[in-house]
Chains A and B, each alone.
Chain A
Amino acid sequence: QSVLTQPPSVSGAPGQRVTISCTGSSSNIGAGYDVHWYQQLPGTAPKLLIYGNSNRPSGVPDRFSGSKSGTSASLAISGLQAEDEADYYCQSYDSSLSGPYVFGTGTKVTVL
């Protein structure tokens, strides 16, 4: 089971702003390790969305933003669009014995 907890689902109307939380612990986010975010559109492979807590790879719209504080991180989507409907996963490094790279439980974003 994942050590990074996300809400199962969030929803919003087109144009609205939604946020997704990613809650970790002192062995991962709280230890200072960066958080990264991935978007998985239906039936496709995951795609890197945010790296290093708040950096967007080339080609990712600035509607997507990330932040980190304490043992948690957040992904915000502003100006929600229909094509943003997807699953979103956070990911970080974990210093516990179970394995170094951990993903969040995933959040389904629904555009109403």
Chain B
Amino acid sequence: EVQLVESGGGLVKPGGSLRLSCAASGFTFSSYSMNWVRQAPGKGLEWVSSISSSSSYIYYADSVKGRFTISRDNAKNSLYLQMNSLRAEDTAVYYCARGRIGSGWYYFDYWGQGTLVTVSS
């Protein structure tokens, strides 16, 4: 059974930093691209960042580019998101999601339960 378990969320002041983790199990982690998707309170889904299976390709949404860094450790079956210079608008539940890629398509087939990040003074 595929499982994705996020951790590391919490309350942080504006300008602060936080590192999210996602522990994966039930599949060959090193064979899949992985993603972070967030959802602000009462709002819709927003894709944040993606990393390919071997970390060769990394993408960010414009809203987090230059402030967030995605990484992975295939030996530990773990995905990370280092978030710096946090702003109030980064407040959201952050989901880890497995990616499936093909010609003309990319979707998220498994999701974690999410971890809440609150940026407030």
Contact = CB atoms under 8 A, between A and B. Distances in A.
Interface string A91-112: 1010001111111111000000
A61 interface: no
B44 A105 contact: yes
B100 to A, nearest CB: 7
Nearest to B98: A48
Interface residues on A, range: 20 to 34
B32 interface: no
A45 B112 contact: yes
Contacts of B100: 51
B44 A45 contact: no
B61 interface: yes
A46 B111 contact: yes
A45 B113 contact: yes
B44 A103 contact: yes
B61 A48 contact: no
Interface stretch (B69-77, B82-90, B101-109): B101-109
24 contacts: A34-B107, A36-B108, A38-B45, A38-B108, A46-B37, A46-B111, A48-B107, A48-B110, A51-B105, A51-B109, A52-B102, A52-B105, A89-B45, A91-B45, A93-B104, A97-B62, A98-B61, A98-B62, A99-B47, A99-B59, A99-B60, A100-B59, A102-B47, A103-B44
